[in-house]
Amino acid sequence: MAHVWHQIFVHSSNGGAFETYANAEFHQRLRDGALGTFENLLTKYALSPQLGNYQTWVKNVPERNGIKPNENFAREVMQLFTIGVNMLNDDGSPWVGAGGQFVPTYGQADIQTLARILTGYTFPTRPGANADFWGNRNYYVGDMIPFDQYHDTDAKNALGGRISMSAGGRPATEVRDALRALVNHPNAPPFIAKQLIQKTVTSFPTPGYIVRVAAVFKDNGKGVRGDLAAVTRAILLDPEARGARKIDKEYGRMREPSLLWTAMLRALDVTTDGVQPFNQGWQSSQQLFNSQTVFNYYPADYTLAGGNIPAPEFGIYTSAEYLYRANQVNDLLYNVDQSWSQDPFYGWGPLGFVPSAVGTPSPPLAAFLADAGNPDALVERLNRLLLHGTMTPAARKTVVNAVSKLDPNDRLRRVKMAVNLILVSIDYQVQR
């Protein structure tokens, strides 16, 4: 769920702007709050110095010399992280107003007012240093800290009165009150519920599925709004997540590159230091914590070509990516046989400049060797492990035939052939 949330609450090193510890600290705060409340998680995200730097609202100050407060985070906290750009029904569909037009959730005046609220925060103070609004620089452990004297203290009103603040307010209070107003906005439940479903279960949830999850977001049954543990439970235990719709050809979601890798490594019991999976993510347009835009690694509204079926992950699944994935699977299985795997700067083996490096060795696959003499038994075992028993008869026949053509005495090669064909199949690439 932390991985899911980091794609909604986007932050990016964008070419190395942050040190590794900063990315680790950012992901840890998402992990710590992923099953808490939406308000607490949103607040921890908003006050993270990584986000403050990325969205350029750290050291944001009131208007001076004709220069108004930075509007980046003010705009995107509404557009992308809480309520979206158009008013929604509980099933995620947009309101249709007079003349068939969508109804916007906010306007430019709301952005400008929220930007005024988002003033007066600076980086956390480094250990041993004194807190200094301008002097605190580029330290990424802990929340950003407020300075009253750098906050816009005029009265504020936005979002049709949902945000209403008298003059004299303090930054810590006003920022939290503004975030709470966004959490309580009627758009937040369907806007967030749909994205969570798409990133965990299926890219094309039915309206009823969204309604059911949004209802839990509104109230967990105990009067709590945004209980993310309850919301996650509702998503994963919904009939649509566990029932007959799994056979619908429009059901499921493409395994994004990072989750494809983690699934393969876990299933095949591969120990890795993470260098190669990270490098392969660059090739596949999903290098973690290095999203090229605030809109995530792929467009949230991407649809399959020639239709209107939502499929966000296919936004980075090009014809080249199809070949990349096939080559990556092959490299994982056979990298010990490649002379370049010992390249001191890029190989699959341990790299000298990486602390405690172990590389990413090919899986031993010893547990499957006993079945290699019986292609049917081997493929059935891998079917249960990798496809949860869902392999089609046609796919089974293809894999069994390919394995049967290999020398029965070369058991490891037989196992690798079966694993390779299953991992590159669309049945594995699309998670159901």
* pLDDT tens column, 265-309: 999 999 999 888 888 888 898 988 888 889 999 988 899 988 889
Residue 74: band (very low, low, confident or very high) from pLDDT cuts 50, 70, 90: very high
Same domain, 170 and 296: no
Same domain, 26 and 170: yes
Mean model confidence pLDDT for the chain: 93
Q: Residue 15 above 60 pLDDT?
A: no
In a domain, 319, yes or no: yes
Relative to beta strand 156-158, strand 163-165 is antiparallel
Q: Is 140:22 a contact under the CB 8 Å cutoff?
A: yes
Same domain, 173 and 283: no
pLDDT at 290: 87
Residue 146 pairs in a beta bridge with 121
Of residues 246 and 227, which shows the higher confidence score? 227
Using N-to-C axis directions, what is the helix angle for 207-218 and 228-237, rounded to 10°? Answer: 150
What are the backbone dihedrals phi and psi of residue 91, each rounded to the nearest 5 degrees, phi first? -90, 10
Residues 6+ apart with CB under 8 A from 428: 255, 386, 387, 422
Q: Which of 178-187, 272-281, 399-408 has the lowest mean pLDDT?
A: 272-281
Same domain, 170 and 305: no
Domain of residue 408 covers 254-431
Same domain, 17 and 161: yes
CA distance 127 to 358: 33
In a domain, 307, yes or no: yes
In a domain, 75, yes or no: yes
Domain end marker among 155, 183, 211:
183
Same domain, 10 and 142: yes
In a domain, 223, yes or no: no
Q: Residue 419 above 70 pLDDT?
A: yes
Same domain, 98 and 9: yes
Helices (H), 292-389: 319-334, 375-387
| Exposure string over 418-432, b if 16+ CB within 10 A, otherwise e | bbbbbbbbebbbbbe
Q: What's the total number of domains in the chain? A: 2
In a domain, 417, yes or no: yes
**Residue listed under structure tokens 């985070």:** 73
In a domain, 394, yes or no: yes
Residue 430 pairs in a beta bridge with 254
Which is it for the CA torsion 157, 160, 163, 165, positive or negative? positive
Q: Which two tokens stand for residue 247?
A: 């056979």
Domain end marker among 137, 153, 183:
183
Same domain, 304 and 393: yes
Q: Residue 338 above 60 pLDDT?
A: no
What percent of the chain has a predicted confidence (pLDDT) above 70?
96
Domain end marker among 183, 208, 239:
183
Return the H-helix or E-strand segment holding 121: strand 121-122
Q: Which two tokens stand for residue 1?
A: 């769920």
CA distance 22 to 344: 26
CA distance 264 to 392: 20
Same domain, 271 and 409: yes
Residue 156 pairs in a beta bridge with 165
Same domain, 394 and 267: yes
Mean pLDDT score, 3-24 = 82
Relative to beta strand 163-165, strand 253-254 is unpaired
DSSP code for 158: E
pLDDT at 343: 53
Residue among 214, 395, 415 at smallest CA distance from 333: 415
- At 345-388, the pLDDT tens digits run 556 888 878 888 888 999 999 999 999 999 999 999 999 999 99
- At 39-58, the pLDDT tens digits run 999 999 999 999 999 999 99
Same domain, 268 and 416: yes
Q: Terminal CA-to-CA distance of the chain, rounded, Å?
A: 17
pLDDT at 16: 47
Residue 188: band (very low, low, confident or very high) from pLDDT cuts 50, 70, 90: very high
Same domain, 147 and 270: no
In a domain, 234, yes or no: no
